[in-house]
Amino acid sequence: GLEKLVEERTLELQREITGRKQAEETLHRISQAVIQSPTSVMITNVDGDIEYVNPAFTNVTGYSFEEVIGKNPRILNSGTHPREYYQALWNTLLSGKTWQADICNRRKSGELYWELQSISPIRNPQGVITHFVAVKVDQTERRLAEVQRLQLALEKEKVVLLRQFIGDISHDLKTPLTIFKTYLYLLERITDPSQYKEKLQVLISTTHHLERVIEDLLTMSRLDGSIDLTLALLNLHSLIYSVDAKMRSLARQKNIQIALELDNSVPPIMADESELERALLNLVENAVKYTPVDGTITIRTHNRDDAVVIEVCDTGQGIDQTDLPHIFERFYRADKARSKENGGTGLGLAIVQKVVDMHSGRVEAESAVGQGSTFRVYLPAIQEG
């Protein structure tokens, strides 16, 4: 009986040794796979302290093994992601799920790099989470390729816009030049002096239009450049009185009344006076152009939430709903809303939007054919404290 027991125990021990050897070999293979992997691997405890990193991690980050052990992965934080990103990461991991997302990290040298990281919880035999393992694949080249693709698309879009711009502006410049040539030809051949005045008047009017086109082009070009606004505390109502005074003679030509409905509780704003005046002049001039004789234009101000609102309302012909989304586009012309017969350059409202955008505001239009139009400019109110 004793011999049999010894034999059984020997076989049992051999099986254990074989099993242990196999386990050790498997562990060694896994260990070598992690060590030799071209993919970064990092293991942390539940508090997030780093307990292991493989050579690929040290190659990518520039930190040595000794420099990161015991440290928190925050040493790689690039400051690119909001706090919510990391909160979502930890909430996912602590709920026992795997987190996978692109992350922008910072190497020891300070250089930023992108990687796709998958972080999974590691559980002990009792099912309790004891560690987290992060596997990271470098995404920097893919990200750079995406940026280059976007830049290329942007350049192509710029070329298309430039071609469109050249086409639009050449049309705007050719028309008055054709009028010049025609009327100069006629003036040379006029024998009746009474006809001179009529032809000269057309030339003067065309000159003014051409001057306005060039002025608007230069304004748009300047605003597109890297100009800085000269911001100062501004009494909005004083500015509106100035705009009103400058536009009254133009409105009087069509017997249009300009009414002011200004809310005295509207506070001063931080703005560039000359640029904002230009935008408001454009809005009122636009209203005068498209409002018929004996019409009314109303300029209102009021407060709304954390913004100061300026409204320019007219009793004009209104804007068709199909044209309304496009009226702030450069050179956009609708048959009714942006008729060349009214002497528009196609840049007035684009300039308004650009100036308002530069003031961190927004502009919107509300209109219907035959019901007039309302343009609203929202500018940020000065935050107290």
For the stretch 192-222, pLDDT in tens is 777 777 788 888 878 877 887 888 888 887 8
For 108, counting Cβ atoms within 10 Å of its Cβ (0-12 exposed, 13-18 middle, 19+ buried), the class is middle
Which residues of the chain form beta strands (DSSP E)?
40-45, 50-53, 99-106, 112-123, 129-138, 232-234, 257-262, 269-271, 296-304, 307-314, 362-367, 373-380
Whole-number pLDDT of residue 326:
87
pLDDT for the residue numbered 336: 40
Per-residue pLDDT at 299:
96
Q: How many C-beta neighbours within 10 Å does residue 115 have?
A: 20
Domains 150-227 and 230-385 share a fold: no
137-146 long-range Cβ contacts below 8 angstroms, 24+ apart: 137/39, 137/40, 138/40, 138/60, 138/113, 138/114, 139/102, 139/114, 139/115, 140/113, 140/114, 140/115, 142/114, 143/102, 143/114
Q: What is the largest CA-CA distance in the chain?
A: 145
Tell whether the model's pLDDT for residue 344 goes beyond 70: no
Domain covering 37-138: architecture: 2-Layer Sandwich (3.30)
CATH no. for 230-385: 3.30.565.10
- What pLDDT, on a 0 to 100 scale, did the predictor assign at position 23? 67
Average pLDDT over residues 20-44: 75
Q: Please give the structure tokens belonging to residue 347.
A: 């840049």
Question: Is there a contact between 235 and 266 (Cβ–Cβ < 8 Å)?
Answer: no
CATH 1.10.287.130 fits 150-227, yes or no: yes
Q: Which residue, 238, 230, 229, is CA-closest to 268?
A: 238
- How confident is the model over 284-333, as pLDDT tens digits? 998 998 899 999 999 999 999 889 999 999 998 888 888 888 889 887 76
The answer to whether the CB of 268 falls within 8 A of the CB of 236 is yes
Helix axes 348-358, 194-224, angle to 10 degrees: 30
Domain map (residue ranges) of the chain:
37-138, 150-227, 230-385
DSSP string, 187-249: HHH---THHHHHHHHHHHHHHHHHHHHHHHHHHHHHHHS-PPP--EEE-HHHHHHHHHHHHHH
The confidence score (pLDDT) of residue 193 equals 76
Q: Which two tokens stand for residue 23?
A: 């386990």
Q: Which residue type, as a one-letter code, is found at position 89?
A: L
Write down the pLDDT at residue 240: 96
